[in-house]
C-alpha cells in the first residue's frame, strides 16, 4: 500500500545514546497518567456525595451529574486537538507538563467550589480539567516511543499505561477512606500533579522532534492533514476504532453493572463504584500482559486479536450470568477488565502509525476520540431498545457489544503492523 510518508534522515554525526527503559521520561509519563486516570475516574466515584453536599436533590444529582460528565467529555475532545497540535508544533515535553499543570490546578479548584454559583464553577472546572486530561497520555506515549529504542518501545508504553490505569483503583480506595471529605480527594489529585512538575528538569525532549523542528518546509501539527489524504484518514479512523471494545465494556457494562445485574437476577447488590475499581485493577494486569505478549510475539496485531477474543468470551459470560452470586458477577467484571487491557497497545499503535510531524497529534487525539465514541455506543444501545424489533435492555446490550467487537476486529485486520517499525520519518 502506498503511503504519504517519507523517511527522515538524522543529521550526519548525530549519535543516539543508549536509553534505559526506566528513564525519567517513562517515570514521569507513567506518574502523570496515574494522576490523569485518578482524576478522570474520581468524579464518577464521588459524584453523588459531592453534589449532595452542595444541596442538590436526588433528581438534580442525576441530571447535573450527567451535564458535568458531558462537559468534561467536551473538554477532552477539544483538548485532544489543541494539545495534539501543540505537541507537534512546540514539543512533547511542553505538552506533557502543560497538561499536568492544567488538570492539577483544576483539581484543586474543584475542591474549593462553594456558594450560590457552586454548580456553575463545578462545570467550568470540570471542562478545564477535561482540557488538561486530554493531553498527558498522548504526549507521554509519543515522548516514550521516540526516546526508547524500537525493541524497548512496547515495554515503555506498557509501563506508562499500566501504572496510569492503577490510578482508578487508588481513587476508589482514597474516596472510601475519606468518606464524605470529597474535597480532600480533589486536593490530593492536584497535589500529586503539582509534585510531578519538579521532575521536569530531568526529562529531555525527543531527539526525533528536535531534528524535525530544525528542518524547513516540514508541516508540523497540521490537524487537517489527516483529511487531505484518503489513505491517511483511513489510518486515523482505524486507530480510533480498534479501541471501541474498551469503552463499550467500561462505559456500558461496568458503569451500569447494577442495572444489568438487576435485570439478570444477580444475588446481592452490585455497586458500580466497586465494579469500576475491580475492572480497572484487572485492566492494569491486562495492560502488563498485552505489552509483554506483544514483545514475545513481536506483533501488535496478534495481541489485539487475542484480547478481542477474550473480550468476546467475557462479554458472553456476562450476559449468561443469570442468578449468579454477586461475587461471581464481580469476577466476570474482572475478567472483562483484563480482556480490554490492551490500552497500552492501542495507544502505542496510534503513535506508531504516523510520522514525527503528526505523531503527537495522532497519539493525543485518538485516545480522546475513542473515549468520545462512548456517546455513539450509548446512542446505539438506546436505539436498539426503541426499534421495531423491541429489543430488551439485555438484548440491546449484547448486540451493541457484538457490533463494537466486530468493528474492532475488522479495523485491526486492516491496520498496519508496527512492531519494530522505524519511527524516524515524516508525513508528506
- The string of DSSP letters for 337-363 reads HHHT--HHHHHHHHHHTS-TTTHHHHH
* Res 412 pLDDT > 90: yes
- Tell me the per-residue pLDDT of 156-190, one tens digit each, with 9 for 90 and over: 888 888 888 888 888 888 988 988 899 999 999 99
- Residue 118's SS3 state is helix
CB 159 within 8 A of CB 145: no
Name the residue among 381, 348, 254 with its Cα closest to residue 29. 348
Residue 15, pLDDT score:
46
pLDDT band at 213 (very low <50, low <70, confident <90, very high): low
Residue 172, pLDDT score:
86
What residue ranges do the domains of the chain occupy? 23-203, 225-427
Q: Which CATH architecture has domain 23-203?
A: Up-down Bundle (1.20)
Residue 264, pLDDT score:
94
Residue 248 Cα distances to 256, 320, 390, 408, 424, angstroms: 11, 18, 21, 11, 34
CB 30 within 8 A of CB 258: no
- Tell me the per-residue pLDDT of 351-385, one tens digit each, with 9 for 90 and over: 899 988 888 888 888 988 888 888 888 888 888 88
The three cell numbers locating residue 111: 475542591
pTM metric for this prediction: 0.83
Residues forming a β-bridge with 425: 7
Mean pLDDT for the stretch of residues 411-417? 94
- Interior/surface letters 287-302, b for 16+ CB within 10 angstroms, e for the rest: bbbbbebbbeeebbbb
Mean pLDDT for the stretch of residues 42-57? 85
* Of 215 and 399, the one with more pLDDT: 399
Residue 1, pLDDT score:
44
For residues 175 and 177, what is the distance between their CA atoms, to the nearest angstrom? 5
Residue 384, pLDDT score:
87
Name the residue among 266, 265, 252, 262 with its Cα closest to residue 397. 252
Q: What is the DSSP letter of 4?
A: S
* Res 6 pLDDT > 60: no
- Tell me the per-residue pLDDT of 294-338, one tens digit each, with 9 for 90 and over: 989 999 999 999 999 999 999 999 999 999 999 999 999 999 999
- Tell me the per-residue pLDDT of 65-89, one tens digit each, with 9 for 90 and over: 878 888 888 888 898 889 888 888 8
CATH topology of domain 225-427: Growth Hormone; Chain: A; (1.20.1250)
Greatest mean pLDDT range, 21-25, 87-91, 226-230 = 226-230
Largest CA distance in the chain: 69
The three cell numbers locating residue 273: 463504584
For residues 336 and 253, what is the distance between their CA atoms, to the nearest angstrom? 9
For residues 173 and 183, what is the distance between their CA atoms, to the nearest angstrom? 15
Residue 72 Cα distances to 22, 64, 129, 372, 422, angstroms: 32, 12, 7, 11, 36
For residues 143 and 137, what is the distance between their CA atoms, to the nearest angstrom? 10
Mean of the per-residue pLDDT values of the chain:
85
233 CA to centre of own chain: 21
The three cell numbers locating residue 22: 526506566
- With a pLDDT cut of 70, the percent of the chain lying above it is 91
Q: What is the DSSP letter of 252?
A: I
Name the residue among 101, 78, 94, 84 with its Cα closest to residue 135. 84
Q: Which of 57-61, 300-304, 400-404 has the lowest mean pLDDT?
A: 57-61
CB 238 within 8 A of CB 418: no
For residues 314 and 310, what is the distance between their CA atoms, to the nearest angstrom? 6
The three cell numbers locating residue 77: 475532545
CB 270 within 8 A of CB 263: no
Name the residue among 253, 221, 216, 3 with its Cα closest to residue 95. 221
One fold for 23-203 and 225-427? yes
Amino acid at each position: 500500500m502506498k503511503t504519504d510518508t517519507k523517511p527522515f534522515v538524522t543529521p550526519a554525526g548525530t549519535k543516539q545514546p543508549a536509553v534505559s527503559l526506566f528513564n525519567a521520561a517513562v517515570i514521569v509519563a507513567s506518574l502523570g497518567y496515574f494522576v490523569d486516570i485518578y482524576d478522570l475516574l474520581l468524579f464518577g466515584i464521588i459524584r453523588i456525595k459531592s453534589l449532595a453536599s452542595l444541596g442538590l436533590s436526588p433528581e438534580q444529582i442525576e441530571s447535573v451529574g450527567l451535564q458535568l460528565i458531558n462537559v468534561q467529555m467536551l473538554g477532552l475532545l477539544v483538548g485532544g486537538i489543541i494539545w495534539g497540535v501543540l505537541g507537534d508544533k512546540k514539543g512533547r515535553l511542553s505538552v506533557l507538563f502543560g497538561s499536568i499543570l492544567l488538570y492539577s490546578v483544576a483539581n484543586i479548584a474543584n475542591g474549593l467550589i462553594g456558594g450560590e454559583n457552586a454548580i456553575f464553577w463545578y462545570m467550568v472546572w470540570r471542562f478545564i480539567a477535561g482540557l488538561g486530561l486530554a493531553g498527558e497520555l498522548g504526549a507521554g506515549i509519543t515522548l516514550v516511543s521516540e526516546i526508547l529504542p524500537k525493541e524497548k518501545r512496547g515495554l515503555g508504553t506498557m509501563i506508562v499505561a499500566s501504572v496510569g490505569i492503577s490510578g482508578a483503583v487508588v481513587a476508589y480506595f482514597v474516596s472510601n477512606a475519606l468518606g464524605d471529605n470529597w474535597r480532600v480527594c480533589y486536593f490530593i489529585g492536584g497535589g500529586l500533579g503539582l509534585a510531578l512538575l519538579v521532575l521536569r528538569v530531568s526529562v529531555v525532549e525527543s531527539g526525533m522532534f528536535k531534528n524535525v523542528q530544525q528542518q524547513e518546509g516540514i508541516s508540523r501539527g497540521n490537524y487537517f492533514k489527516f483529511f487531505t489524504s484518503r489513505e491517511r484518514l483511513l489510518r486515523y479512523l482505524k486507530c480510533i476504532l480498534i479501541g471501541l471494545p474498551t469503552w463499550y465494556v467500561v462505559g456500558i457494562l461496568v458503569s451500569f453493572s447494577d442495572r444489568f445485574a438487576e435485570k439478570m437476577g444477580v444475588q446481592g447488590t452490585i455497586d458500580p463504584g466497586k465494579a469500576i475499581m475491580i475492572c480497572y485493577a484487572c485492566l492494569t494486569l491486562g495492560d502488563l500482559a498485552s505489552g509483554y505478549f506483544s514483545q514475545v510475539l513481536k506483533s501488535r496485531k496478534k495481541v489485539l486479536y487475542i484480547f478481542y477474543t477474550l473480550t468476546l468470551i467475557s462479554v458472553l459470560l456476562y450476559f449468561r450470568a443469570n442468578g449468579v452470586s454477586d461475587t461471581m458477577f464481580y469476577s466476570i467484571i474482572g475478567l472483562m477488565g483484563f480482556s480490554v487491557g490492551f490500552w497500552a497497545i492501542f495507544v502505542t499503535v496510534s503513535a506508531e502509525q504516523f510520522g514525527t510531524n503528526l505523531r503527537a497529534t495522532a497519539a493525543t487525539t485518538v485516545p480522546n476520540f475513542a473515549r468520545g465514541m462512548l456517546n455513539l455506543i450509548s446512542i446505539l444501545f438506546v436505539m436498539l431498545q426503541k426499534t421495531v424489533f423491541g429489543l430488551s435492555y439485555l438484548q440491546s446490550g449484547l448486540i451493541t457489544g457484538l457490533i463494537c467487537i466486530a468493528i474492532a476486529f475488522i479495523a485491526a485486520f486492516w491496520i498496519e503492523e508496527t512492531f519494530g517499525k522505524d519511527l524516524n520519518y515524516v508525513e508528506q
